[in-house]
Amino acid sequence: MPNNATIIDFIQSQVELKMKLANANPLAIRDIKNDIPVLVKAAIIDLQRNDILQPNTLRFHTIDNKEEQRNTDGVLDYYYISLPADFRELKKIAIDGLDSYRLAEDEDYLRNNAYTYFVTIEENENTVDHRLRLNPFPTDLQELFIRYYKDGSSVLFSEIKETYWDAVLANVLSRLGLVSEYVADSKMSDLVSQIKHPDGIGGKDRIKKRRPFYFGK
């Protein structure tokens, strides 16, 4: 591959080679190559879930990001923290250094159980807003520490180190049915072990199994 090749170039070329060897229809090869960016974004989520790509970190006082939801009569319904546009999943939340809140099952559980949090989704015409709600809601001067995973669409392909490409390739090939899931999991496990044990000491790490992925999700 050229020195300036991107991860998309690499994976497209490898998928094309694999499909040509399998005597695939040229039109099918073209269509699959167009889907590669979407499949890479799905693979990025697996890199995040296995702590290969680290979550983003936010630290702020409640007053700096505090927003409120009022009903049609103007009465306060609840306070919330508006999460960043690239938010996908909350990894950790601590308030004044204490990790004492737990995830609520739903909004009813949140309202009825102290020291719980829940992320609600508000869909607008062109955007999707994620709101972090907490019970009890922290006071204005309390400090929040949040770690969250970025949405796969928001991770720049340039952020994916070349040493990760083989694991991403195996992940994509597995999603296309061109290699087994076992091969993809082994590549991911090797990468996790390489990162956690760069000196080669330590056993093979168990990876977090990927979630089903469907186009458009």
- The per-residue pLDDT for 204 is 53
pTM attached to this predicted model: 0.73
The answer to whether residues 37 and 87 belong to one domain is no
Asked whether residue 214 is assigned to any structural domain, the reply reads no
Cβ contacts of 201 within 8 Å, gap of 6 or more: none
The answer to whether residues 68 and 141 belong to one domain is yes
Residue 215 has pLDDT above 60, yes or no: no
Q: Are strands 76-82 and 143-150 parallel, antiparallel or unpaired?
A: unpaired
The answer to whether residues 70 and 145 belong to one domain is yes
Asked whether residue 95 is assigned to any structural domain, the reply reads yes
The answer to whether residues 162 and 136 belong to one domain is no
The answer to whether residues 79 and 124 belong to one domain is yes
**Residue pLDDT, tens place only, 58-76:** 999 999 999 999 999 999 9
Asked whether residue 134 is assigned to any structural domain, the reply reads yes
**Residue pLDDT, tens place only, 94-143:** 999 999 999 999 999 999 999 999 999 988 877 789 999 999 999 999 99
The answer to whether residues 117 and 178 belong to one domain is no
Domain count, the chain: 2
Give the residue with greater pLDDT, 204 vs 88. Answer: 88
* Domain stops at, among 127, 151, 175: 151
**DSSP letters spanning the chain:** --TT--HHHHHHHHHHHHHHHTT--HHHHHHHHHHHHHHHHHHHHHHHHTTSSPPEEEEEEHHHHEEEEE-TTS-EEEEEEEPPTTEEEEEEEEETTB---EE-SSHHHHHHSSSEEEEEEEE-SS-EEEEEEEESPPPTT-EEEEEEEEPGGGS-GGGS-GGGHHHHHHHHHHHTTSS-HHHHHHHHHHHHHHHH-TTS-S-PPPPPPPPP--TT-
**Rounded mean pLDDT of the chain?**
87
Give the residue with greater pLDDT, 210 vs 8. Answer: 8
The answer to whether residues 60 and 145 belong to one domain is yes
Please give the angle made by the CA atoms of 146, 168 and 152, to the nearest 5 degrees.
Answer: 35
How far apart are alpha carbons 140 and 79 in whole angstroms?
11
- The per-residue pLDDT for 155 is 74
Q: What percent of the chain has pLDDT over 90?
A: 64
- The per-residue pLDDT for 77 is 95
The answer to whether residues 147 and 65 belong to one domain is yes
Asked whether residue 189 is assigned to any structural domain, the reply reads yes
Owning domain of residue 38: 7-53+155-196
